[in-house]
Structure 1
């Protein structure tokens, strides 16, 4: 367990927290509703970022006597994310809180300062469409080890599960982000060859994107769901869980491995959404209501295009010409299939 302290005066600015893996939906922009917290209380993550610091663009020309200023939202590498409720000893910086809708999106840089010395130390993000989080600036804070309970690491058989559809009938944004990241890894290991996927939920999540992004023809590679509790004989590409706390990928002796967020993988591996056919002459209405059918989404599944591009950019294999062409195509037309 650690707390983070101001690098300037040493004042503690967080509660005790333990490190977990960075979620796939970190940095995701989704819709216009208020989203919940990115992290569980008592945890923190480190985002390697893309290496580009937050920086303002050049001022635009004056129009009607008004000079407009546009900013780039891009955090410095290795920012530390914590739950908003784990912040301690900070105050808002008023001049960096404007220009938002239902909260703050951090577009003006760090908006929280140390209450002891006034140094900007963090950025709170809680505007509509953003997962709520506080990002500590790595050069403004330092970790301090403290006594506390040792974090219990979940066993692989205890992995959480997130349903693909929310109560309103929309696809879960966590699923859209997780599949987007896994899709980037799948393309990278495919070598540009056609990939087959197993029927059922895996096909619903991946096949449409594969049909659009990879060349047509008979499949030359084969994606198979693998992991705890599933058969071990995998020879080609294994779709395996990534541990939500440690970030460890399920060990598999396959030719290639594609990691998928554990809560999405668990649902794919352990849930059967096929509707049961009633017995002859039907079933009593009251009995059928005891076990309602799974919710059906309102549209075809689509991965998150922006999350996909960000994941692809972080892979060294994106330098290969065929994969770079896919990246350029999605960047040029991000709202065409499979990202519409």
Structure 2
């Protein structure tokens, strides 16, 4: 069982938790409320951010040759953290022995708590140990400070690691539609990240997407970024993963294991594009049953829509962040796509 505690007094600060992969929507901002978004992690789990976090912040213009790449960035950002790595993400209900200190709550938030510096302190010794976030449009979260906390008990935790077959059975994915009829916030985040990987992997080649659900979330953005498929040579994007037939495309959307971060392996001739499990699982296996009593199958265009009717927009902030961390973004054509987001302060992207 993994338990985190205060580095100063060794008091326990969390319940027992199991490690999972850091989700692409960990620091998502979606809409403007009212209210915050659901936590990125389920109770009893934690994830570790491999990137530097917090102060000191370095303006891009002040970074010397090679410094940005060493910090994980390949194109300009407004500012780059040179702080410690290893910030730990928790669901808010898993924190113990820490309280919000009003003196540490900044004035940059709107309707709740936000900020890049700790606003929670250890009850035992008063050391600032964590950041509580619950502002409008943000994921509810606890971020433990890596220099103020440490592991005081280590073990597998309450959630055993599932194999791919068990994931298929126990993790059915998240439907794209919310009760209101709009898109679930996870989907713009998952597709925004996968779209960045797809562009970097494809080299801008025109892509044909046979699956109508996959085409529904990827094709409009691809058409606007690299142009519609023309009459020349074409490449195919398919779904690949556990429970599906062998890969038969040039590029394959493959699942990321939500606990280990492992990617489903594909044949050497197929170029993989990682997609968050909850979206991949739904796209791969959610199909409406055939109408009862009909002997002649309906054509795909006559079947009911499985995706919300509202126009889909990938999460532009996550798209730009993921793209900025891929070396391929330095190619001129992809750098030009990235630069479209510069006027919007990396918080919005017009697809």
TM-score interval (norm. to shorter): 0.7 to 0.9
Q: Deviation at 1:278?
A: 9.0
The secondary structure found in structure 2 opposite 1:25 is coil
The secondary structure found in structure 1 opposite 2:96 is coil
Deviates more, 1:39-48 or 1:154-163: 154-163
Match of 1:241 among 255, 258, 271: 255
In the alignment, structure 1 segments of 5+ residues that lack a partner are 59-71, 281-292
- Residues 215 and 137 of structure 1: CA distance in aligned 2, closer, same or farther (over 3 Å): same
The aligned runs of 1:13-24 (5 Å cut-off) are 13-24=13-24
Q: Which residue of 1 aligns with 2:95?
A: 87
Distance in 2 of aligned mates of 1:53 and 1:295: 41
Q: Does 1:33 align with 2:28?
A: no
The secondary structure found in structure 1 opposite 2:218 is helix
Distance in 1 of aligned mates of 2:145 and 2:158: 25
The secondary structure found in structure 1 opposite 2:142 is strand
Q: Deviation at 1:272?
A: 2.2
The aligned runs of 1:287-326 (5 Å cut-off) are 297-326=308-337
| TM-score (ref. length: structure 2) | 0.80
Distance in 1 of aligned mates of 2:41 and 2:282: 20
The secondary structure found in structure 1 opposite 2:341 is helix
In the alignment, structure 2 segments of 5+ residues that lack a partner are 60-78, 296-303
Confirm or deny: 8 A CA contact 2:254 2:264 kept in the other structure: yes
Per-residue CA shift, 1:36-62, capped at 9, x if unaligned?
Answer: 22211110001123x36335899xxxx
Q: Which residue of 1 aligns with 2:200?
A: 188
- Residues 195 and 76 of structure 1: CA distance in aligned 2, closer, same or farther (over 3 Å): farther
Q: Which residue of 1 aligns with 2:175?
A: 163
Confirm or deny: 8 A CA contact 2:240 2:252 kept in the other structure: yes
Q: Does 1:266 align with 2:270?
A: no
Q: Deviation at 1:151?
A: 3.4
Confirm or deny: 8 A CA contact 2:53 2:87 kept in the other structure: no
- Residues 95 and 56 of structure 1: CA distance in aligned 2, closer, same or farther (over 3 Å): farther
Q: Which residue of 1 aligns with 2:113?
A: 104
Q: Does 1:78 align with 2:86?
A: yes
Q: Deviation at 1:322?
A: 1.9
Distance in 2 of aligned mates of 1:296 and 1:221: 24
Distance in 2 of aligned mates of 1:336 and 1:140: 36
Q: Which residue of 2 aligns with 1:124?
A: 132
Deviates more, 1:162-171 or 1:329-338: 329-338
Aligned residues: 311
Distance in 2 of aligned mates of 1:44 and 1:270: 28
Match of 2:153 among 145, 155, 161: 145
Per-residue CA shift, 1:49-88, capped at 9, x if unaligned?
Answer: 3x36335899xxxxxxxxxxxxx89785321001111111
Structure 1 ranges of 4+ moved more than 4 A: 55-58, 72-76, 146-150, 273-280, 293-296, 333-337
- Residues 92 and 150 of structure 1: CA distance in aligned 2, closer, same or farther (over 3 Å): closer
Confirm or deny: 8 A CA contact 2:49 2:85 kept in the other structure: yes
Distance in 2 of aligned mates of 1:305 and 1:77: 25
The secondary structure found in structure 1 opposite 2:340 is helix
Q: Which residue of 2 aligns with 1:213?
A: 225
Q: Deviation at 1:324?
A: 1.2
Deviates more, 1:316-325 or 1:170-179: 316-325
Per-residue CA shift, 1:162-188, capped at 9, x if unaligned?
Answer: 001100011111001000000000001
- Residues 220 and 46 of structure 1: CA distance in aligned 2, closer, same or farther (over 3 Å): same
Confirm or deny: 8 A CA contact 2:44 2:158 kept in the other structure: no
Distance in 1 of aligned mates of 2:113 and 2:342: 27
Match of 2:271 among 247, 256, 260: 256
| TM-score (ref. length: structure 1) | 0.83
Match of 2:49 among 47, 52, 56: 47
Distance in 1 of aligned mates of 2:34 and 2:172: 25
